[in-house]
A and B are shown apart, each in its own frame.
Chain A
Amino acid sequence: MKKKNYHLFEIKGVNQERFFNNLVKRYKIFELDRKDKTHCSFKVNYRDAKKVRAEILNAGLTIEKERSKSLLYFLTKFLTCYGILSAIVICSCFYFIQFSRIERIEVWGDYDSELIKEFVEQNLQNKNKNRVDCQKIENLINNEFDDLSFVSVAIVGQTMVVNVKSSIVPPEMQGEFAPIISPSDGIVREINLIQGTLKVDVGDIIQKGQILVEGYVINSEGESMDLQPRAEIVLDVWAEGESVHFDQQLVTSRTGNKTVRTSVTLFGHEFYSNNAQVQFDQYEEEQTSKPLIKNNLLPFILTKTTYYETQTQLVVSSFAEHEQEMISQARENCLQNLAEYEIIKDENYRIIEAAGTTTVKYVITASLRVVG
């Protein structure tokens, strides 16, 4: 029987019988041909070739020639000798096989892409690029989705690009229009109406949320026609702020003395504490808790409670000393109630004195532009 996958060795050396007797204990030998006393050739299985070569060299024999014949040898040899060429061949084969297929579907546009992608996948019977009819898919999408104004399908590389655009409904067909509403209380100072029906006049005092312009017009035939209200209305608005000064007041402050109490708890049960005693008459306390060990097995909690000693004093001060400060504070409070886009036109304040207290009331008049 002829050996199909073999490795042929031609060796040179003496005492070859002993070498073969050792070799056959591990490997099978074929076609052993003794040419003369020092030369012979033999074949072994291709998979044993490497080990047999080592055995030959260990036995002190010389390898004169080697030859292999097997599919594995052929492939290995081809890949070794023609590495780049074989890589190009393999890659080209892979490329030509996979390039003819559609691998991805992308949906561009302002429509629900997942919905269209799912629909295309359902209707894409064959993923072979040459067999896909883009025009047919376009028609299918157009028939399925009524609210699309534009559909285009194209294959770019291995991606099917579906470009869609939803129908644009003109504002007149969208139904009711929201009226322009006053954002705050104020007086109407200026009106510039573009379209719509005006519901206020210059000089009217208006409330927050009141309708300024309605989204309809009455045409020459007396019919009501809906449209988007457009106008520019300038309002005068007010913002108020106040600050209160007390002639006498009790002020509590920390003295700087403190006591820290530390405890360790497990599942709510305290089993360690430094037993710090609080000696202060008045105090404030702050508490912080954090895990003692970073594990979930034993969640020890370290709690640190700090007691700060405090004292209360009666502070007497006159309004005259703090007048400017109180006015500034009232103005700050007033500005906080004013929107950023308002333009300040005027500001004033008044001081109201009562028993033991003085109140500064600050008023800012601003111009507000309502655009719709």
Chain B
Amino acid sequence: MFNFFSELKKIVKKEKFIDRYNIVNMSGKILYVEGHTGLCQLSKELITFKFKGGVIIVEGKDMVMSELSETTLKIVGEIKRVEAL
């Protein structure tokens, strides 16, 4: 089966930072994240989590952490902004 992330990684394999995290934003309603290393802040309007070498801030409205495992998470709600610092 076609793997979108694997194909992308093959194209830009020279870049070292490529394995840090992956984020998929689906129409601003669902946000899927791979490669997080822990939650920093959690609320309905703001969710912050760490990745290898930085922090990702997700801002929105009525956000719920639909799934949370050691490296992946899925946020459901109205996602307004995703920012990596």
Given contacts A21-B38, A33-B64, A28 and B43 within 8 Å (CB-CB)? no
Contact B68 A17 (CB under 8 A): no
A314 to B20, CA, bound (A): 125
Q: Which residues in window 36-84 of A have CB below 8 A to B?
A: 36-37, 40, 42
* B41 lies within 8 A of chain A by Cβ: yes
Q: Binary interface profile of A, 8-30, with partner B (CB < 8 Å = 1, else 0)?
A: 00000000110011001100111
* B65 lies within 8 A of chain A by Cβ: yes
User: Chain B: interface secondary structure?
Assistant: strand
Contact A17 B64 (CB under 8 A): no
* B67 lies within 8 A of chain A by Cβ: yes
Q: Which residues in window 1-42 of B have CB below 8 A to A?
A: 38-42
Contact B43 A20 (CB under 8 A): no
Interface residue tally on A, bucketed by range:
10 to 19
B interface residues, tally (CB under 8 Å): 14
A33 to B65, CA, bound (A): 6
Contact B42 A34 (CB under 8 A): yes
Contact A29 B67 (CB under 8 A): yes
* A31 lies within 8 A of chain B by Cβ: yes
Given contacts A29-B65, A32-B64, A32-B65, A24 and B42 within 8 Å (CB-CB)? no
Of all chain B residues, the one with the shortest Cβ separation from A37 is B43
Of all chain A residues, the one with the shortest Cβ separation from B77 is A33
Among B42, B64, B66, B67, which residue has its beta carbon within 8 angstroms of that of A20?
B42
Of all chain A residues, the one with the shortest Cβ separation from B39 is A17
17 residue pairs A–B, Cβ–Cβ below 8 Å:
A17-B40, A17-B41, A20-B39, A20-B42, A29-B68, A29-B69, A30-B67, A30-B68, A32-B42, A32-B64, A32-B65, A32-B66, A32-B68, A34-B42, A34-B65, A36-B43, A37-B43
Q: A29-B65, A33-B65 are in contact. List 12 more A-B contacts (CB 8 A).
A: A16-B42, A17-B39, A17-B40, A21-B38, A28-B67, A28-B69, A29-B67, A30-B67, A32-B68, A34-B43, A37-B43, A40-B42
Chain B residues close to A by CB (< 8 Å): 38-44, 64-70
Chain A residues close to B by CB (< 8 Å): 16-17, 20-21, 24-25, 28-37, 40, 42
